[in-house]
Amino acid sequence: MEKSIIKKGSKEIIMFVILFAMMFVASKMFAQYQVGHTQITFTDPARSNRAIQTEIYYPASTTGDDVSMVAGQYPVIVFGHGFVMAWSAYQNLWESYVPRGYIMMFPRTEGNITGTDHQQFGWDLQFLVGAIQAENNLPSSIFFNGVAPETALMGHSMGGGASFLAADSLCSNGNTNFKTLVGYAPAESSTNGVSSINSALSVTVPSVVFSGSNDGVTPAVDHHTPMYNNLASSCKTFVNVLGGGHCYFANTNTNCDFGESTSSTGISITREEQQDIAQDLTNLWLDYMLKGDCNAFDYFQDSLANSTRISHLQACAVNPTPVIVDNGNSLTSSETGTSYQWFLNGNPISSSNSVTIPITSNGNYVVEVSYANGCSKTSAPYTVTGVGIERYEFNNFNVFPNPTNGLLTIKGANLKGKNVQIFSVVGQIVVDLILEGETTINLQNLQEGVYFLKINGITKRIVLS
């Protein structure tokens, strides 16, 4: 999360003490496990019994090799290493994620400086997603009954690109365990007839791509940005770490650092700072995607909006906040979910598990919409007045054309003297005027999108295109 800059003065010192205490408590809450380690060589019969030597780190009660895993079921992260980089360069990652309750898998294949096969590496990552689930069902395994189905693909540089290849296959095959893709400076893998950039077109799971603004090894314009742009995900985020490099997502590595020294310039933050930024955001994202922590997504969004250490892009339709649309005789949620609960003056309305409910009384209405991932969002209160003859007589007004390219006409009976307001989706009033009867409003100065028009307590949804 955003690092605070402490100024001199007693008030600031007190705030620092409070902040430090909160961070200490939080670290104890989340870093609750020791890190166990084991090595398994998996065999893929579909590729001539290809051997996939894999280092695995997992939540344990004591640190060590082949120690017992802590009781429970833990989500999985399958991680692809960079070009000629050993899995050990990513100790910073397993020391961040595993203590919070994740299993991390690092295949050691395709590590040679010559003859690296990106497609085979992608298939290795794909294979391990299923292989660890088989361990969950094997009584002799350390991981027996300890593996949750929720799985993330993650990788750095070459491994980031290979994770896109693996994600392509998993999404195309409808793998329900695969929940999210996270790439640290992913490199375009274009050997052997494959392309990570092209594979992104088939990746439908929510995804995050991290980039260092001063990465000269895999410049964003040629690698990270095209992958992000091609993602078919309903929620995708591009995080640009300001002043960051390519190799700083990992620990010091001779091969990677040498390549960076000959290609990257202007790196202005430390390795530790870059790792803190990436890991803080990734922890929130994984807690949301793999553990169903709905608050973590809100914190993730808040960090994107407020951090001065990054810039970002996002196209995300996850868990939108509903707006109540007034139809005259009924109220409708602007968002479609898996279930609904309506409230009137703070009290739940019985038998209101529907996107639309009839208006029966004056008062403040609220709708809570639940989504497929188990998270929910609640609308702002909407005040209904004038229930009775006057309200229903006034329901006969129309707005057209809708969608509109800028000119919107309001037509109906009893319009003269009525106040019309148009709101943006975040509640900002963009039009506020008194009608003289049938009126045409020019909205061409507004950005395209969804707006809400309100007259006499009745709201209609309009689209400006």
The answer, yes or no, to whether residue 141 has pLDDT greater than 90, is yes
The verdict on 368 and 340 lying in the same domain is yes
Torsion, Cα of 211, 217, 218, 221 (10° steps): 80
The verdict on 268 and 121 lying in the same domain is yes
Lowest-pLDDT choice from 161-165, 240-244, 267-271, 408-412: 408-412
Number of CB atoms found within 10 A of residue 140's CB: 6
The answer, yes or no, to whether residue 56 has pLDDT greater than 70, is yes
CATH of the domain at 367: 2.60.40.10
Q: What is the pLDDT of residue 396?
A: 62
Torsion, Cα of 256, 257, 260, 265 (10° steps): 160
Query: How far, in Å, CA of 186 to CA of 223, rounded?
Result: 7
Sequence-distant (≥ 6) Cβ neighbours of residue 425 within 8 angstroms: 323, 449, 450, 451, 452
Q: What is the pLDDT of residue 131?
A: 98
Going by C-alpha positions, the residue among 305, 307, 308, 286 that lies closest to residue 297 is 286
Domain of 369?
A: 319-393
Report residue 385's pLDDT band, with 50, 70 and 90 as the boundaries: confident
Percentages helix, strand, coil for the chain, rounded to the nearest 5? 30, 30, 40
Report residue 310's pLDDT band, with 50, 70 and 90 as the boundaries: very high
Strands (E), 345-457: 347-348, 356-358, 363-370, 376-378, 382-384, 397-400, 407-412, 419-424, 429-434, 439-442, 449-455
What is the average pLDDT across 368-381?
Answer: 90
The verdict on 26 and 36 lying in the same domain is no
The answer, yes or no, to whether residue 320 has pLDDT greater than 90, is no
The verdict on 13 and 46 lying in the same domain is no
pLDDT tens digits, residue range 354-371?
999 998 888 999 999 998
The string of DSSP codes covering 121-168 is HHHHHHHHHHHHHHHHT-TTSTTTT-EEEEEEEEEETHHHHHHHHHHH
Considering 254, 281, 316, which residue would you say is the last residue of a domain?
316
The verdict on 353 and 372 lying in the same domain is yes
Q: What is the pLDDT of residue 28?
A: 41
- The one-letter amino acid code at 183 reads G
Greatest C-alpha distance within the chain: 81
Considering 300, 316, 332, which residue would you say is the last residue of a domain?
316
Going by C-alpha positions, the residue among 69, 32, 101, 98 that lies closest to residue 291 is 101
The answer, yes or no, to whether residue 26 has pLDDT greater than 50, is no
Residue whose structure tokens are 């598990």: 353
CATH of the domain at 413: 2.60.40.3080
The verdict on 410 and 333 lying in the same domain is no
> Angle between the 294-306 and 271-291 helix axes, to the nearest 10 degrees?
150
CATH of the domain at 186: 3.40.50.1820
Q: What is the pLDDT of residue 345?
A: 95
The verdict on 256 and 329 lying in the same domain is no
If you average pLDDT over every residue of the chain, what do you get? 89
Going by C-alpha positions, the residue among 7, 19, 146 that lies closest to residue 73 is 146
The verdict on 1 and 47 lying in the same domain is no
Query: How far, in Å, CA of 233 to CA of 405, rounded?
Result: 28
Considering 377, 393, 409, which residue would you say is the last residue of a domain?
393
The verdict on 90 and 195 lying in the same domain is yes
Q: What is the pLDDT of residue 417?
A: 84
The verdict on 254 and 352 lying in the same domain is no
The verdict on 224 and 292 lying in the same domain is yes
The verdict on 302 and 386 lying in the same domain is no
User: How many domains does the structure of the chain reveal?
Assistant: 4
Query: How far, in Å, CA of 6 to CA of 3, rounded?
Result: 9
Report residue 395's pLDDT band, with 50, 70 and 90 as the boundaries: low
Q: What is the pLDDT of residue 448?
A: 87
